[in-house]
């Protein structure tokens, strides 16, 4: 790899190709129809919602309403989408998991695994690599038991955002630095919960179809489990998928199913709690 590959140039080629084939993209927010404040194309969002979720769309933008009322409903919908988008999905999921596992408690210890596909270094291009470049870091997340779902998720998001370089340096400090911070980190207990969120699956995964059923064990069934409870998640083709792995010798199935139900209820409450308009924030 003697040449330097600039991802920005590749991005321009992709945008030009999409534009030539009927797609739209914003040229620094100057294109007609682009909502700069909300950073989206409202007509595209409305058309997608009306096509893919016609019943929900009809409840929000009622056909019997006047055009003025319908326009107001669309504006409220846009504000709600933007409001919800300000909470990262990993923060929302961690808030839901903490709520389910430790109701009423203010401290949530969790070992966070990161796929490593987003480089924190501007001169490092990972577009020509495959697989995961996983790293991990522990967090003792502070929760406010009396806070609502939105405030709780935002609190988790702020704590995640405050971690230097997204936790990338933890392994170096913990395992390669003797004395000082290395010994300090080694003295902390390892959390019992592992959280591994892949985010939106890369483009190649959107083309392939998932295997129906199970593909078998991906590690030796007699090996020591990494953590008593491991929670893996990803967004695949627009749907969130969460897998809860546990040992039947440590947790019973009914308990884990109750945790899953509590986390799901929390996420639904979080969605409902997102205000319909910016004025209600």
259 and 156 within one domain: yes
Per-residue pLDDT of the chain (281 residues; tens, 9 = 90+): 344 445 556 667 776 776 776 666 655 545 566 666 566 678 877 888 888 888 888 888 999 999 889 988 888 877 776 666 567 888 889 999 999 998 888 899 999 998 877 766 777 777 777 777 888 999 999 987 677 888 888 889 889 888 888 888 888 888 887 777 788 888 888 899 999 988 765 544 444 555 666 667 666 667 777 888 999 988 776 678 889 999 888 899 999 999 999 999 998 888 877 655 444 43
163 and 201 within one domain: yes
Query: Is residue 57 situated within a structural domain?
Result: yes
Query: Is residue 220 situated within a structural domain?
Result: no
269 and 174 within one domain: yes
Query: Is residue 167 situated within a structural domain?
Result: yes
100 and 75 within one domain: no
151 backbone dihedrals φ, ψ, rounded to 5°: -65, -40
Query: Is residue 28 situated within a structural domain?
Result: no
C-beta separation of 261 from 137 below 8 A: no
Query: Is residue 65 situated within a structural domain?
Result: yes
43 backbone dihedrals φ, ψ, rounded to 5°: -60, -40
Query: Is residue 8 situated within a structural domain?
Result: no
Nearest to 127 by CA among 67, 204, 57, 73: 204
Query: How many residues are present in the chain?
Result: 281
C-beta separation of 61 from 68 below 8 A: no
193 and 153 within one domain: yes
How far is 185 from 170, CA to CA, in rounded Å? Answer: 9
Domain that holds residue 76: 43-85
Domain count, the chain: 2
| CATH code assigned at 273 | 3.30.559.30
pTM score of the predicted model? 0.63
Query: Is residue 216 situated within a structural domain?
Result: no
201 and 78 within one domain: no
């Amino acid at each position: 790899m003697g040449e330097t590959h600039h991802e920005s140039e590749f991005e321009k080629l992709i945008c030009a190709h999409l534009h030539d084939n009927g797609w739209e993209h914003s040229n620094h927010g100057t294109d007609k129809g682009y909502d700069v404040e909300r950073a989206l194309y409202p007509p595209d969002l409305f058309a997608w919602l009306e096509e893919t979720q016609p019943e929900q769309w009809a409840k929000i933008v009622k056909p019997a309403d006047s055009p003025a009322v319908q326009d107001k409903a669309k504006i409220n919908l846009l504000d709600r989408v933007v409001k919800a988008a300000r909470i990262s999905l990993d923060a929302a999921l961690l808030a839901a998991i903490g709520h389910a596992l430790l109701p009423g408690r203010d401290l949530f210890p969790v070992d966070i695994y990161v796929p490593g596909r987003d480089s924190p270094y501007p001169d490092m291009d990972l577009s020509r690599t495959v697989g995961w470049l996983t790293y991990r870091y522990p967090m003792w997340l502070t929760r406010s038991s009396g806070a609502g779902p939105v405030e709780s998720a935002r609190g988790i998001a702020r704590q995640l955002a405050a971690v230097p370089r997204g936790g990338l340096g933890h392994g170096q400090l913990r395992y390669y630095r003797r004395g000082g911070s290395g010994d300090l980190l080694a003295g902390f207990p390892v959390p019992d919960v592992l959280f591994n969120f892949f985010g939106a699956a890369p483009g190649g995964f959107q083309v392939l179809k998932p295997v129906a059923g199970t593909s078998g064990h991906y590690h030796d069934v007699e090996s020591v489990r990494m953590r008593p409870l491991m929670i893996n998640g990803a967004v695949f083709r627009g749907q969130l998928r969460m897998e809860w792995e546990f040992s039947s010798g440590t947790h019973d199935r009914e308990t884990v199913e109750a945790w899953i139900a509590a986390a799901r209820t929390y996420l639904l409450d979080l969605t409902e709690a997102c205000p319909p308009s910016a004025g209600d924030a």
